Structure 1
Amino acid sequence: MDASTPGASGPVSVPRRFAALRNRDSRPYLFTSGLSMMADNTEHVITYWVLWQTFHSPALVGFQIISHWLPFLLLSVWTGTLAEKYDCRRLIQAAQGLFMLVSAVWGVLFLTHSLTVWAACILLVLHGTAGSIWGPAEQLMLHDFVERHELPSAVRLNATFQSLGILFGPVVGSALLLWLGPTGGIFVNVLLYLPMTVLMFRTKFTGHTRDAVVEGRPRVGFRDTLRVLRGIRSNHLIIAMIIISGLTAVTIGNALQSSMPAFAARLGAGSSGDLTYGVLLFAMGFGGVVGGFLLEATGVIRPTLRAAVLSTIVFGAAILGFALTANYALAIVALVLAGAGEIASLSITQSVVQLEAPAGERGRTLGVYGMFASGLRTGGGVTLGVLGAAVGVISAVGWFAAVLVVGAFAAWWFAMRRPRRSEVTA
């Protein structure tokens, strides 16, 4: 098998541009997925603002990050197993229902002025749990909607539409806070999860149309995670994708957003700091969205080992450039380029894992991928705090970016060390 074409067997069909958007089944899925991701981020804007105004607790701010990503670290393999065995439509509805329940309970607590730290912690954990349930199931649905050779298009466009949700979530959240207040805004946010929930009643796809549902009930736990890892360790390509995504998560994953105020101050934010800060945050999200659509329109990048490594290097190098420059214009350009590199790296690594994963263990393999790609973001705040305290936040981000570039090269070298019977070329 050629590493340039994961999972290739026989002639390779050339996918159409925007194949997933041309597909009448996957098109509404992409839009509703982006809308749900926007609701996710809108909820963060509203609830984080209320929590800070109510408690002024730095510890709670740290817990907000931990609670969002820790469920991915602990539950991803389990939820991947559920996605393998059960109808993914129902799992997605369960996740969306939990999202809606959490938003509604936030609204009740705001309305009755009965919000407590413990109640907030429980809701934050439940919100993160909903995300971990959603992840593997929504990826398996993509595998169901389109033909194998069009799967990279579906993964890339799904990531792009979710990036749109992440980009506009803060805008919508801020608007709802301004117009309706936190109580009215959070109740309106409940409605944003409904389109995907309703769509799951209307689609005929289950996440298993192309693959048989796993028979039996495999045990799920830490040992099962190790078993899945042992099962895929001979596929150096999947392991390389997991290394790249995990390294991204633990280095730059959370570091950039939380450290952006320091960069804004260095770039001259004064009385107009809010504008400077907002533009910096917007720039990287904008780069991700534009980059995703450009990659899909041009078709210049395929899901290969080389493409995954190079896009990760572009991402890390752009962040390193951003950390080194004191010029505002160059900083914006670097962030836009970083956003494009990040979405390319994310979509390529996800596509390769989907294409290479054994059909009977695709959900659990995606679960392991999610455990590293999302779960390791739990430790991102720790690594930033420790290194930031030693060398400064801005320097720490620069070091993280350099480590990511070196790590991408290391993953490339590792993937090329396949057993001779399945020797590959880059």
Structure 2
Amino acid sequence: MAFDLEHHAPALRHRNFRLLWFGQAVSMTGSMMQNAAVLWHVSLLAGDSLKEKASALALVGLVKFAAIAVFALLGGVIADAFDRRKLMLVTQSAMALFALALAWLSWRGVDAVWPIYALTALTSAAGVIDGPARHALLPSLVPAHLFANAITLNTIVFHVAFVGGPALTGPVMQYLGLEWVYLVNALSFGAVIVALAAMRDLPATTKHERGEVSLAAAWEGIRFVFRVDLIRSSMLLDFFATFFASAKALLPIYAQDILKVGESGYGWLYSAEAVGALIGALFLARGAERIQCRGPWLLVAVGVYGLATIGFGLATSFAGAFAALAVGGIADSVSIVLRNVIRQEETPDRLRGRMTSVNMIFFMGGPQLGEYEAGVVAAYFGAATSVISGGVACIAATAWLAWKTPALVAYRKRPRDPSG
């Protein structure tokens, strides 16, 4: 079947969205390369025992979460108070500099792990300021009735990067060295910077529409999120799923000690979830608007994600592990799109940045705390036990939220607003 832009990707007809979409495709690929490389880098410096590796890898998630907890709310307030495009130019440039610093550390052969933790935390801090600005910019790039399509296309970019980035990381580390992974990521931020600079005719924001940088403004965003049942429950669902079922930090252990597939196999394991998510997102590009029972589909998707995590924990072969992670990725792509549609539909524009910043505490904090939790459990009970118990807990948390939040179970697609 030929690709029909009007049916599959109508959001790409809008120039400013198209610029950012292509820029993100390049930049996110570099970022995913770096994410995989950092875990591998830390595992090499941590020591030879499973407990040393698991503990050191757990700290990667902890330092990321610390940055998220400190800067996420500030990022949302800033995104609602300042020009979002200019703010992204600053954050993208900062992340490029941090990647260059990691490249220098690797090139110099520095064997201390704390500078990697520090630069990882700084990158996360810049990311949680960049994220609210990027998400809040979306309604300025496409009309409201194309939100679901634009979010799906962004999800496709994310997962293409998640497939391509780590898959490239293995060969680049093996044949060129870690420093080249970090250098490629630093250069990749230029694609978004160029895209942002090339945007034209963005809607102007009045002083009345902009928020102020204050604790009161941050608190207003928190109150809004916890007052709206659909937004609150979708964020809690995201947090519990990623906290309990996050196995990324343990992939170096699986690649080195359990499946014994080396650097190249590690890159593909890291990409496996995104392979499935990309497949799911490609179907959703045309089908997201057709999903009527959005709440039930969201709950089922997260439950399947938990089951796939259990399957990965039980896997004894590379093929089995890859397949389980890919199934989890398909489920996750459905969950991501539906969660984001709910939040965009339920949030007024003046609060989008702050809503997104609160969401990032859940969306990014869950996986990072989950990596810490997975590493600690693995250090004492083994990697497989850590992964399997996490999948079981994910399913239990999903069932509990479905029981506690009837509004989410009952959520259906809203009729299209003819003025949007």
TM-score by length of 2: 0.82
Q: Give the CA RMSD over aligned residues.
A: 3.3
Residue correspondence of structure 1 range 92-171 to structure 2 within 5 A: 92-111=88-107, 117-171=113-167
Provide closer, same or farther for how the CA distance between residues 172 and 235 of structure 1 changes in structure 2, counting only shifts above 3 A: same
Aligned equivalent of 1:35, options 8, 22, 26: 26
Q: Write out per-residue CA displacement over residues 346-375 of structure 1, whole angstroms, 9 at most, x where no aligned residue.
A: 221122112111322111111111111112
Q: What is aligned with 2:305? A: 315
Aligned equivalent of 2:238, options 222, 245, 248: 245
1:205 Cα deviation after fit: 6.0
Q: 2:96 & 2:411 partners in 1: Cα distance?
A: 47
Which structure 2 segments of 5+ residues have no match? 1-5, 413-420
Native 8 Å contact 1:144 1:209 kept in 2: no
Aligned equivalent of 1:83, options 74, 79, 83: 79
Provide closer, same or farther for how the CA distance between residues 260 and 394 of structure 1 changes in structure 2, counting only shifts above 3 A: farther
Provide closer, same or farther for how the CA distance between residues 350 and 328 of structure 1 changes in structure 2, counting only shifts above 3 A: same
SS in structure 2 at match of 1:233: helix
Q: What is aligned with 1:355? A: 345
1:148 Cα deviation after fit: 1.1
1:118 Cα deviation after fit: 4.8
Letter in 1 for 2:212: R
Residue correspondence of structure 1 range 341-380 to structure 2 within 5 A: 341-380=331-370
Letter in 1 for 2:161: G
Q: What is aligned with 2:415? A: none
Native 8 Å contact 2:169 2:181 kept in 1: yes
Q: Percent identity?
A: 21
1:242 Cα deviation after fit: 0.8
1:385 Cα deviation after fit: 4.0
Q: What is aligned with 1:415? A: 405
1:115 Cα deviation after fit: 7.1
Bigger mean CA offset, 406-415 vs 69-78: 406-415
SS in structure 2 at match of 1:25: helix
Q: 1:260 & 1:52 partners in 2: Cα distance?
A: 7
Task: State whether structure 2 residue 250 is matched by structure 1 residue 258.
Answer: yes
Letter in 1 for 2:98: V
Native 8 Å contact 1:137 1:363 kept in 2: yes
1:390 Cα deviation after fit: 6.2
Aligned equivalent of 1:294, options 283, 294, 297: 283
Letter in 2 for 1:416: P
Q: What is aligned with 2:212? A: 217
Aligned equivalent of 2:324, options 334, 341, 344: 334
Letter in 2 for 1:41: M
Native 8 Å contact 1:96 1:193 kept in 2: yes
Provide closer, same or farther for how the CA distance between residues 98 and 231 of structure 1 changes in structure 2, counting only shifts above 3 A: same
Q: What is aligned with 1:400? A: 390
Q: Write out per-residue CA displacement over residues 254-297 of structure 1, whole angstroms, 9 at most, x where no aligned residue.
A: x245157448866xx35x56666555433322101111112213
Q: 1:173 & 1:275 partners in 2: Cα distance?
A: 8
Q: Write out per-residue CA displacement over residues 19-72 of structure 1, whole angstroms, 9 at most, x where no aligned residue.
A: 223433322312211221111122344555555556757465443332333322
Provide closer, same or farther for how the CA distance between residues 411 and 174 of structure 1 changes in structure 2, counting only shifts above 3 A: same
Q: What is aligned with 1:12? A: none
Q: 2:201 & 2:233 partners in 1: Cα distance?
A: 30
Bigger mean CA offset, 105-114 vs 82-91: 105-114
Q: What is aligned with 1:11? A: none
Task: State whether structure 2 residue 9 is matched by structure 1 residue 18.
Answer: yes
Q: Write out per-residue CA displacement over residues 196-241 of structure 1, whole angstroms, 9 at most, x where no aligned residue.
A: 00111111365x6589864452423xx7655433333332111111
Provide closer, same or farther for how the CA distance between residues 183 and 385 of structure 1 changes in structure 2, counting only shifts above 3 A: closer
Native 8 Å contact 2:67 2:125 kept in 1: yes
Native 8 Å contact 1:416 1:424 kept in 2: yes
Bigger mean CA offset, 192-201 vs 325-334: 325-334
